[in-house]
Amino acid sequence: MTAIWKKPISLDALRDKARHTAIEHLGIEYLEIGDDYLVGRVPVDHRTHQPFGLLHGGISVVLAETLGSVGALFSSPAGWHCVGLDINANHIRGVKSGWVTGTAKPVHIGRMTQVWQIEMVNDEGKLTCVSRITMAMLENAE
């Protein structure tokens, strides 16, 4: 398979860009970059729990949007950037502790839009959430 990345991408670059952002604050970590996917994870702890001791559903969405947005940005041509248009999430299973790991893969990489699907699993590999994000592709202003 040919890599989809059109801009230089590395774990170190992603980690540097995450400094002093919500990504760092929530403890989200980038783990792997494949030819056509990204993997990251979020801890399930006091920062990410809802009041009943489970991972807050919004945190799953933050992980999904983080991975899908990064994927869209780095698979877009030089001179282009992206913004989110729509995101949805189906919460399948609650998580009380450990990590939730997400894998983002493109469903569609077009000239004006991209669609990414993010599947999240718990430490046992059981599906916890499925999310899909649609990104608008925008040419940088001169």
Q: Which letter does DSSP use for residue 76 in this model?
A: S
Beta partners for 114?
Answer: 109, 135
Amino acid type, 91: H
Separation CA 65–CA 137 (nearest Å): 15
Catalytic site residue from 24, 29, 32, 65: 65
Give the Cβ contact number of residue 19 at 10 Å.
Answer: 8
142 catalytic, yes or no? no
Token code pair at residue 33: 């970059």
Catalytic residue positions? 65
